[in-house]
């Protein structure tokens, strides 16, 4: 029987752009263009079709320094794993990393340059010695995009304070970010939006200043307030109630998408956090950082929205899925794909809005138990980078200057 298979490089050239335009992430475009010369020529590079971030925006917060201009910064959470599992099998300390993946948060600073951050915080990875490879070829690894996160920073390098969450839509390689809409929760619960070229942020709701989270779900902006009511934001940037109030008594609500379902995670603290005040927020912010005993998590409750019946269903088991509640992004991961990660758990830090709080803990839904997650407790997902990436000697810094130079064929 004749072998009728066609080589990838022999596909009709008119098909290639159609395939390429269906790709939605930077890594997908990079992989596509790396197949062969004809594929590379059929699709423009990522930076040509979409302007690179950071994107100039007005700042929603006015500080004592009178800084009014801000930058939108994108960070991407990836699952990285080596192509050759035998590469790390010689080392007992790295075998667990080779078996599965490592969760990495990456920030692009300029073309060809990236920086690693702790997955649950805004801290950069600082490299302590020369073991780290300054040049890393992304084609040497299996890479899967898990989630995107955004933050606002000033042109002097500092982060804009009092920002709870930032999201952008649309966000794909084929749409210039200058035509996208940015929505944020800021100043203790205000919900507003801005676009490139705007001179100020516009409030979406000028009566309710108690929003906790906002995400992009099925191509729409969704926000949740302190009472667990979910709203979706229509094309005219008006709120439409999407769910009944959850009436949860937790201190903070998080929105998480998992398997196309929408969840609310209710975070319970042992005491009320210090409230923001529009006039003296600098004092409250400082007190919150130096307080001897800041609020700590004592419980979580998870609810899924039954969209058919418009009601909340409490979830006591997530199966193989686990939720990750970061400073700037909440997402779901499949535990079997990450060595050491437990299923049906919530990974978090005790200080979600503080860049100083990056020690990772996990909450087991079944047993209602909180434990610390670290590499010493066989929880390598949020530990230092694995040996196969040659990043084993690292620490986390607030402002690290080391950059990762990324190359691809």
- What's 187's domain CATH number? 2.120.10
- Pick the closest to residue 52 from 31, 73, 24, 70 (CA basis): 73
221 & 293 share domain: yes
Whether residue 92 is contained in a domain is answered as: no
Whether residue 4 is contained in a domain is answered as: no
Query: CA 61 to CA 55: how far, in whole Å?
Result: 17
41 & 64 share domain: no
Number of structural domains, the chain?
Answer: 2
32 & 145 share domain: no
Whether residue 90 is contained in a domain is answered as: no
65 & 160 share domain: yes
In degrees, to the nearest 5, what angle opens at C-alpha 290 toward C-alphas 300 and 274? Answer: 50
Q: Which residue range forms the structural domain that includes residue 27? A: 12-45
Please provide the average confidence, as pLDDT, over all residues in the chain.
77
Weakest mean pLDDT among 32-41, 334-343, 376-385: 376-385
Average pLDDT over residues 106-122: 72
79 & 19 share domain: no
121 & 20 share domain: no
Average pLDDT over residues 112-139: 64
Q: Is residue 184 packed enough to be buried (19+ CB in 10 Å), middle (13-18) or exposed (0-12)?
A: buried
134 & 196 share domain: yes
Q: Pick 102 or 51 by higher pLDDT.
A: 102
pLDDT at 408: 46
The structure tokens listed for 390 are 């040659």
pLDDT at 281: 40
181 & 160 share domain: yes
pLDDT at residue 27 tops 90: no
pLDDT digits (tens, 9 = 90+) for 238-259: 999 999 999 878 999 999 999 9
Tell me phi and psi for residue 26, to 5 degrees: -60, -45
Contact 360, 382 (CB under 8 A): yes
251 & 373 share domain: yes
pLDDT at 233: 97
pLDDT digits (tens, 9 = 90+) for 361-396: 899 999 999 988 765 455 445 655 555 455 443 444
pLDDT at 228: 94
pLDDT at residue 15 tops 80: yes
Whether residue 3 is contained in a domain is answered as: no
pLDDT digits (tens, 9 = 90+) for 201-210: 999 999 999 9
Confidence grade of residue 354 (pLDDT, cut at 50, 70, 90): very low
pLDDT at 98: 42
37 & 165 share domain: no
Contact 290, 297 (CB under 8 A): no
- Pick the closest to residue 350 from 408, 267, 242, 280 (CA basis): 267
Q: Which residue has the tokens 């959470």?
A: 77
């Amino acid at each position: 029987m004749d072998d009728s298979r066609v080589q990838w490089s022999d596909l009709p050239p008119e098909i290639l752009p159609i395939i390429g335009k269906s790709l939605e992430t930077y890594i997908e475009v990079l992989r596509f263009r790396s197949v062969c010369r004809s594929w590379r020529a059929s699709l423009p590079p990522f930076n040509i079709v979409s302007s690179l971030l950071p994107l100039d925006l007005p700042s929603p917060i006015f500080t004592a320094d009178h800084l009014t201009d801000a930058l939108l910064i994108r960070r991407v959470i990836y699952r990285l794993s080596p192509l050759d599992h035998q590469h790390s099998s010689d080392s007992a300390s790295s075998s667990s990393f080779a078996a599965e993946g490592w969760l990495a948060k990456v920030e692009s600073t300029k073309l060809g340059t990236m920086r690693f951050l702790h997955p649950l915080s805004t801290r950069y990875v600082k490299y302590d010695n020369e073991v780290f490879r300054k040049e890393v070829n992304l084609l040497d690894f299996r890479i899967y995009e898990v989630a995107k996160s955004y933050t606002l920073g000033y042109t002097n390098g500092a982060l804009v304070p009092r920002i709870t969450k930032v999201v952008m839509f649309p966000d794909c390689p084929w749409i210039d970010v200058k035509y996208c809409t940015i929505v944020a929760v800021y100043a203790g619960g205000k919900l507003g939006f801005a676009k490139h070229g705007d001179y100020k942020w516009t409030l979406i709701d000028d009566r309710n200043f108690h929003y906790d989270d906002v995400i992009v779900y099925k191509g729409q902006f969704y926000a949740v307030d302190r009472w667990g009511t979910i709203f979706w934001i229509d094309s005219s940037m008006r709120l439409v109630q999407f769910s009944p109030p959850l009436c949860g008594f937790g201190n903070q609500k998080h929105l998480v998408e998992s398997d196309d379902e929408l969840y609310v995670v209710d975070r319970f603290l042992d005491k009320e956090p210090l409230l923001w005040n529009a006039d003296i927020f600098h004092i409250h912010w400082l007190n919150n950082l130096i307080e001897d005993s800041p609020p700590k998590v004592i419980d979580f409750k998870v609810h899924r929205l039954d969209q058919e019946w418009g009601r909340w269903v409490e979830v006591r088991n997530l199966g193989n899925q686990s939720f990750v509640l970061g400073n700037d992004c909440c997402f779901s991961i499949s535990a079997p794909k990450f060595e050491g990660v437990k299923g049906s758990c919530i990974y978090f830090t005790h200080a979600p809005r503080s860049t100083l709080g990056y020690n990772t803990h996990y909450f087991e839904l079944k047993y209602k138990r909180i434990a610390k997650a670290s590499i010493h407790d066989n929880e390598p997902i949020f530990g230092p980078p694995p040996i196969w990436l040659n990043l084993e000697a690292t620490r986390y810094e607030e402002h690290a200057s080391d950059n990762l130079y990324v190359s691809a064929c």
